[in-house]
């Protein structure tokens, strides 16, 4: 099979198209003919940092976590799938799991679900990692109807899904971004947009919450921005982040009695624990999509498998609006 491989890690390394043995569906697995795969920030981090990240695969490596495709083989013990079924999932591209930048991937059946019927393969491939992350973050924050929720980075991958899911839960959602395109995306999903470059925290807290702060803040930016999330949170509120690889003063969180949740959705893949939970979340997301409550946002440029390097560069440029997808 054709696959895009890395023979070295680092910012200057390139993907190389290579022939690799076609995998087989082992016990508990399905073999999927990949039709599309999306690029996530963690994929670019693995490519650039390599062994500095404990989850990077050994070289030569085939990256790519998200995919949508068609079941080609069903392994022993797998129920609920048949050859020809359309599926989607986040099931490879790290540790000892081959990724989706290839014509085929052998995926743990617990990590996938039937593809939303109303989405194309390209659209479905954009959803798994960001969808599961947004779902887990909102669940851990206990977001419910009537709450005021702030999503930091609402036009990004995780952010645009978190905005839609929080709205579905009945929350009153506000979201940060900047520029006309991002503001339009945020407003289009039913959230109140906040331009973080021109609006001070105190000002938008007053106009969006009457000065009390948000019941939950989902920070998809993380790092130093967490201090802004602490400032925006109400007393005893929940702050969720997907990026906590930094040293930060927790004193503001302490004096507000905040609960800090760090979401790292790769744990089931890395440690083979509770993988079935991800499959169930994907099944639930598919129902929401087909009911019209959720729609993934895709960046406009279309990339084919040999253009994988360009797709990674597009995401890293900061110019993408929505998920970057590679068609296989």
What's the pLDDT at 100? 98
What's the pLDDT at 272? 96
**Looking at the structure, do residues 310 and 229 belong to the same domain, yes or no?**
no
Q: What is the pLDDT of residues 144-161, one digit of tens each?
A: 999 999 999 999 999 999
Residue 216 is part of a domain; what is its CATH number?
3.40.50.720
**Looking at the structure, do residues 121 and 235 belong to the same domain, yes or no?**
no
Q: Please, is 307 exposed, middle or buried when counting C-beta atoms within 10 Å of its C-beta (0-12, 13-18, 19+)?
A: middle
Cβ contacts of residue 124 below 8 Å, gap of 6+?
36, 68, 86, 88, 115, 116, 296
> What's the whole-number mean pLDDT along residues 175-186?
94
Domain boundary among 262, 295, 317: 262
What's the pLDDT at 246? 80
Q: What whole-number percentage of the chain has pLDDT above 70?
A: 100
For residue 3, pLDDT over 80 is answered with yes
**Looking at the structure, do residues 244 and 169 belong to the same domain, yes or no?**
yes
What's the pLDDT at 223? 81
Domain boundary among 209, 228, 262: 262
Q: What is the pLDDT of residues 49-81, one digit of tens each?
A: 999 999 999 999 999 999 999 999 999 999 999
Q: What is the pLDDT of residues 254-300, one digit of tens each?
A: 999 999 999 999 999 999 999 999 999 999 999 999 999 999 999 99
What's the pLDDT at 247? 87
Q: Please, is 256 exposed, middle or buried when counting C-beta atoms within 10 Å of its C-beta (0-12, 13-18, 19+)?
A: middle
Whose CA is closest to 207, among 219, 215, 199? 199
Whose CA is closest to 163, among 154, 172, 243? 154
**Looking at the structure, do residues 38 and 117 belong to the same domain, yes or no?**
yes
**Number of CB atoms found within 10 A of residue 210's CB:** 9
CA distances from 81 to 49, 56, 85 (A): 36, 30, 7
Range of the domain at 251: 131-262
The token pair at 133 is: 């992350």
Least-confidence region, from 30-34, 103-107, 181-185: 181-185
User: Residues 142, 161, 114, 45: what is their CA dihedral angle, to the nearest 10 degrees?
Assistant: -100
What's the pLDDT at 240? 97
> What's the whole-number mean pLDDT along residues 128-140?
98
> What's the whole-number mean pLDDT along residues 93-104?
97
The token pair at 189 is: 């999903």
**Looking at the structure, do residues 241 and 294 belong to the same domain, yes or no?**
no
Distance from C-alpha of 119 to C-alpha of 125, rounded to nearest angstrom: 9
Q: What angle do CA 233, 152, 299 make, to 5 degrees?
A: 165
**Looking at the structure, do residues 160 and 243 belong to the same domain, yes or no?**
yes
**Looking at the structure, do residues 308 and 294 belong to the same domain, yes or no?**
yes
Total structural domains in the chain?
2
**Looking at the structure, do residues 197 and 297 belong to the same domain, yes or no?**
no
Residue 78 is part of a domain; what is its CATH number?
3.90.180.10
**Looking at the structure, do residues 150 and 250 belong to the same domain, yes or no?**
yes
**Looking at the structure, do residues 145 and 111 belong to the same domain, yes or no?**
no
Distance from C-alpha of 13 to C-alpha of 29, rounded to nearest angstrom: 32
Domain boundary among 246, 262, 278: 262
Q: What is the pLDDT of residues 232-258, one digit of tens each?
A: 999 999 999 998 878 889 999 999 999
In the structure, what pLDDT confidence band is assigned to residue 213 with cuts at 50, 70 and 90? Answer: very high
Q: What is the pLDDT of the chain when averaged over all its residues?
A: 96
**Looking at the structure, do residues 302 and 238 belong to the same domain, yes or no?**
no
The alpha carbon of 276 is separated from its chain's Cα centroid by a whole number of angstroms, namely 18
**Looking at the structure, do residues 242 and 320 belong to the same domain, yes or no?**
no
Say if CB 1 and CB 18 are below 8 A apart.
no
What's the pLDDT at 245? 76
What's the pLDDT at 244? 80
What's the pLDDT at 328? 97
């Amino acid at each position: 099979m054709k696959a895009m491989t890395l023979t070295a890690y680092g910012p200057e390394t390139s993907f190389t198209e290579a022939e690799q043995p076609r995998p087989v569906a082992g016990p508990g697995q399905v073999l999927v003919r990949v039709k599309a795969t999306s690029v996530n920030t963690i994929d670019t981090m693995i490519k650039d940092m390599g062994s500095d990240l404990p989850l990077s695969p050994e070289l030569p490596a085939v990256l790519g976590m998200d995919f949508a495709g068609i079941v080609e083989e069903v392994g022993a013990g797998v129920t609920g799938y048949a050859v020809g079924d359309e599926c989607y999932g986040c099931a490879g591209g790290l540790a000892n799991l081959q990724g989706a930048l290839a014509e085929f991937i052998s995926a743990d059946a617990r990590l996938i679900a039937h593809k939303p019927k109303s989405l194309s393969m390209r659209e479905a491939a954009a959803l798994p990692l960001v969808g599961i992350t947004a779902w887990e973050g909102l669940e851990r924050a206990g977001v419910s109807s009537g709450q005021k929720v702030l999503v930091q980075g609402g036009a990004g991958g995780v952010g645009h899904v978190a905005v839609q899911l929080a709205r579905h839960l009945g929350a009153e959602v506000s979201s940060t971004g900047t520029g006309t395109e991002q503001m339009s995306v945020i407003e289009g999903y039913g959230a109140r947009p906040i331009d973080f470059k021109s609006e001070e925290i105190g000002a938008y807290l007053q106009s969006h919450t009457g000065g009390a702060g948000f019941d939950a803040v989902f920070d998809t930016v993380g790092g130093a921005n967490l201090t802004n999330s602490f400032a925006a949170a109400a007393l005893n509120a929940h702050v969720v982040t997907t990026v906590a690889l930094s040293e930060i003063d927790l004193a503001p969180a302490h004096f507000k009695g905040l609960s800090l949740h760090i979401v790292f959705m790769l744990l089931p893949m890395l440690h083979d624990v509770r993988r079935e939970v991800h499959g169930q979340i994907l099944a639930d997301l598919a129902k929401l999509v087909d009911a019209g409550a959720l729609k993934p946002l895709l960046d406009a440029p279309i990339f084919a498998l040999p253009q994988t390097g360009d797709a990674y560069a597009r995401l890293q440029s900061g110019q993408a609006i929505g998920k970057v997808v590679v068609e296989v």
